[in-house]
């Protein structure tokens, strides 16, 4: 197996990627797994095997922690300005190579190239933002209320961090953790999703080129994420677990981390309501719905999962959305004409289909799409349903696909109650021309993030995260993201 990261030397012709394989990236070296086993990577648009990556064992996990421990002191003592410059270089290299990275993301994840380009820009921005934050970490100094001493608070890197990321944003979910961790002075071990490991390895090679010292970032892939993660968390040198993924796996990891009292950040699932009031600008609401629903073909934690539309605008909105969804080009993500790529796996397609059929069985009307196409590739057509009842499974589970379920509502209190009728609380969207109502409803909706008259809220400069079972902690934002990777140290000083 070829285990060198030659991606950036290649002509960005898709056929080149089929021979592209990586090693585990541990201590700045590329190596196979200790038992030589590999995980196959599948192109979701053709179901063909496109690459193989090593399948890390417990011994490899131990080696990764060892490798992260080696430079830990040197990295935390590296001047913030130097760390900042390296992070800035990561941003520049990602920006220069945006097209190659986007093509790789499209290939292994299936998302449309335009979405992949957007992801690379978003992912790179975490390096620029945290390069700027790295030199602005400051402590506190004050007088104790008793007057007996001074209170000095210093913020220190938390220690070695285990980072676990999902397949839906293979670049951005990794950089949203790696950039603030490195800015804070921590070393990390990244375990990317098994479906999309190639982007994570390509980025590891890029970090090295940007000047990230060996061992500061380590990347391992494994088909045994439970035991491998448990082994890393059991090492007393590991002090942080930052996870992005499903709420179910998040619960398992919180229990595992509790055994060792490890600090946890959890970015988990969502069930975003998209609320359109009668007084909304219809065209703006439809534009916003297409972004909130169809970015990444619906495979986003912030995706609009339930569309509540007020009675007076309901029929016009439903027809407008049907027209727009039915007109989308479905195809391989790597095709520049594609607007909606395949889903990540056959299992994902089956789940989406189950949710659609369940809603139809309970009385929802399918306005377009709604059937799994024949042929190869994990495709599901853009689908709109109306009259979706509250008891439909899709009102409570993440659809994670190109399906827009519309329900009618009459009044403000009613829609707030409906929006909050979920264990999740990540994101919500509100469309109204009445700013006072928008702010009032925003304050009553139980979610970590609200987009008011917008279809997109993600921004490295804003705190991203959820309430309820959507997570713990925040990523990005002024100080929030870095704070997750630091501990406050208080010194009482008599002077
Ligand atoms: P997932 O099944 O929870 O997997 C996420 C990651 O956890 C993968 O790397 C996976 O590895 C790993 N994993 C699975 N079981 C594990 C275990 N027992 N111990 C340690 N690691 C384990 O989620 P997904 O299907 O990849 O991603 C979709 C979910 O992520 C959705 O629920 C979505 O809402 C959520 N998400 C949330 C945010 C946010 O910011 N809140 C952002 C993006 C996605 P393998 O791939 O090897 O199984």
Report which secondary-structure segment, H or E, holds 39.
Answer: strand 38-43
Task: Quote the percentage of the chain above a pLDDT of 70.
Answer: 96
pLDDT at 48 over 90: yes
pLDDT confidence tier of residue 326, bands split at 50, 70 and 90: very high
Known catalytic residue: 186?
no
- C-alpha 230/C-alpha 37 separation (Å) is 20
Mean pLDDT of 122-127: 98
Q: Which protein residue's CA is at the shortest distance from atom 8 of ligand 1?
A: 193
CB burial string 305-321: b at 16+ within 10 A, e below: bbbbbbeebbeebbebb
pLDDT confidence tier of residue 478, bands split at 50, 70 and 90: confident
- 21-35, 66-80, 309-323, 480-494: least confidently modelled range: 21-35
Cβ contacts of 475 within 8 Å, gap of 6 or more = 176, 177, 180, 265, 267, 463, 464, 465, 481, 484
89 contacts 210 by C-beta, under 8 angstroms: yes
Ligand 1 binding residues, C-beta < 6 A: 164-169, 173, 191, 193-195, 225-226, 229, 244-246, 249, 252-253, 267-270, 301, 398, 426, 466, 471
- C-alpha 67/C-alpha 231 separation (Å) is 15
pLDDT confidence tier of residue 5, bands split at 50, 70 and 90: very low
Summarize pLDDT for 125-165 with one digit per residue, the tens.
999 999 999 999 999 999 999 999 999 999 999 999 999 99
pLDDT value for 12: 43
pLDDT confidence tier of residue 17, bands split at 50, 70 and 90: very low
- C-alpha 475/C-alpha 76 separation (Å) is 20
Backbone angles phi, psi at 68, to 5 degrees: -75, -25
Mean pLDDT of 365-371: 98
Which among 88, 73, 166 has a CA at the least distance from the CA of 127?
88
pLDDT value for 354: 98
pLDDT at 102 over 50: yes
> Quick one: which atom of ligand 1 is closest to the CA of 344?
25
pLDDT value for 15: 44
Summarize pLDDT for 232-253 with one digit per residue, the tens.
999 999 999 999 999 999 999 9
What's the 424 CA to ligand 1 centre distance in angstroms? 16
What's the 150 CA to ligand 1 centre distance in angstroms? 45
- C-alpha 63/C-alpha 47 separation (Å) is 33
What's the 413 CA to ligand 1 centre distance in angstroms? 34
What's the 434 CA to ligand 1 centre distance in angstroms? 38
Mean pLDDT of 431-460: 98
Which among 344, 340, 335, 345 has a CA at the least distance from the CA of 325?
340
Query: What would you report as the CA-atom Rg of the chain, rounded to the nearest whole angstrom?
Result: 23
pLDDT confidence tier of residue 40, bands split at 50, 70 and 90: very high
Mean pLDDT, the chain, whole residue set: 95
Q: Which protein residue's CA is at the shortest distance from atom 26 of ligand 1?
A: 166
Q: Which protein residue's CA is at the shortest distance from atom 42 of ligand 1?
A: 301
Out of 55, 246, 259, mutate this one to test ligand 1's pocket (max ligand atoms within 8 Å of CB): namely: 246
- C-alpha 47/C-alpha 476 separation (Å) is 35
Report which secondary-structure segment, H or E, holds 409.
Answer: strand 403-409
Among the options 125, 133, 256, 267, which is catalytic?
A: 267
Beta strand spans in 227-262 (E): 238-244
What's the 250 CA to ligand 1 centre distance in angstroms? 8
Q: Specify which residues 102 forms β-bridges with.
A: none
- C-alpha 221/C-alpha 195 separation (Å) is 10
pLDDT value for 94: 98
Helices 98-109, 113-134: axis angle to 10 degrees equals 120
pLDDT value for 434: 98
pLDDT confidence tier of residue 495, bands split at 50, 70 and 90: confident
Summarize pLDDT for 377-396 with one digit per residue, the tens.
999 999 999 999 999 999 99
Q: Is 272 exposed, middle or buried (0-12, 13-18, 19+ CB in 10 A)?
A: buried
pLDDT at 2 over 90: no
**DSSP secondary structure string, 197-241?**
HHHHHHHHHHHHHHTPPTTTEEE---S-HHHHHHHHHTSTTEEEE
Q: Which two tokens stand for residue 302?
A: 């912030």
pLDDT confidence tier of residue 14, bands split at 50, 70 and 90: very low
- C-alpha 170/C-alpha 193 separation (Å) is 8
> Quick one: which atom of ligand 1 is closest to the CA of 269?
34
Q: Which protein residue's CA is at the shortest distance from atom 39 of ligand 1?
A: 267
Among the options 90, 264, 301, 340, which is catalytic?
A: 301
What's the 84 CA to ligand 1 centre distance in angstroms? 29
Q: C-alpha angle 246/173/241, rounded to 5°?
A: 65
């Amino acid at each position: 197996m070829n285990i060198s990261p030659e991606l950036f030397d290649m002509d960005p012709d898709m056929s080149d990627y089929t021979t592209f394989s990586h090693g585990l990236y541990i201590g700045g070296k590329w190596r196979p797994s200790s038992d030589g086993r590999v995980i196959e990577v599948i192109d979701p648009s053709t179901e063909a095997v496109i690459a193989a990556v090593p399948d890390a064992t417990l011994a490899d996990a131990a080696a990764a922690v060892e490798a992260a421990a080696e430079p830990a002191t040197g990295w935390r003592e590296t001047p913030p300005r130097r760390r900042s410059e390296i992070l800035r270089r990561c941003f520049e290299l990602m920006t220069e190579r945006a097209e190659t990275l986007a093509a790789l993301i499209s290939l292994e994840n299936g998302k449309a190239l335009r979405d992949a380009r957007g992801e690379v820009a978003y992912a790179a921005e975490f390096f620029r933002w945290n390069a700027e934050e790295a030199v602005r970490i400051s402590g506190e100094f004050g007088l104790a209320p008793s007057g007996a001493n001074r209170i000095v608070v210093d913020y220190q890197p938390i220690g070695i961090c285990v980072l676990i990321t999902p397949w839906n944003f293979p670049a951005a979910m990794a950089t949203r953790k790696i950039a603030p961790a490195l800015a804070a002075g921590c070393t990390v071990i990244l375990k990317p999703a098994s479906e999309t490991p190639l982007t994570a390895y390509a980025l590891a090679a890029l970090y090295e080129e940007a000047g990230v010292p060996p061992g500061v970032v380590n990347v391992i892939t494994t088909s045994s994420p439970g035991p491998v993660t448990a082994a890393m968390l059991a090492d007393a040198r590991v002090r942080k677990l930052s996870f992005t993924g499903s709420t179910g796996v998040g619960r398992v990891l919180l229990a595992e981390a509790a055994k060792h009292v490890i600090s946890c950040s959890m970015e988990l699932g969502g069930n975003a309501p998209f609320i359109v009031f009668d007084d909304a600008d219809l065209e703006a609401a439809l534009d916003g719905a297409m972004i909130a629903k169809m970015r990444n073909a619906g495979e986003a934690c912030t995706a609009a999962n339930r569309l509540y539309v007020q009675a007076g605008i309901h029929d016009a909105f439903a027809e407008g959305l049907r027209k727009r969804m039915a007109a989308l080009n479905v195809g391989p993500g790597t095709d520049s004409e594609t607007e909606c790529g395949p889903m990540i796996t056959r299992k994902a397609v089956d789940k989406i289909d189950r949710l659609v059929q369940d809603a139809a069985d309970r009385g929802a009307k399918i306005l377009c799409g709604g059937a799994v196409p024949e042929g190869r590739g994990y495709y599901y057509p853009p689908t709109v349903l109306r009259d979706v009842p509250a008891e439909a499974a899709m009102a409570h589970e993440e659809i994670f696909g190109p399906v827009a379920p519309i329900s009618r509502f009459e009044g403000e209190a009613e829609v707030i109650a409906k929006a909050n009728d979920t264990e999740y609380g990540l994101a919500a969207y509100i469309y109204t021309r009445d700013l006072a109502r928008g702010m009032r409803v925003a304050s009553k909706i139980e979610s970590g993030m609200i987009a008011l008259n917008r279809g997109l809220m993600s921004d490295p400069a804003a705190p991203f995260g959820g309430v309820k079972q959507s997570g713990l902690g925040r990523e990005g934002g002024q100080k929030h993201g870095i704070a997750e990777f630091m501990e406050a140290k208080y010194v009482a000083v008599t002077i």
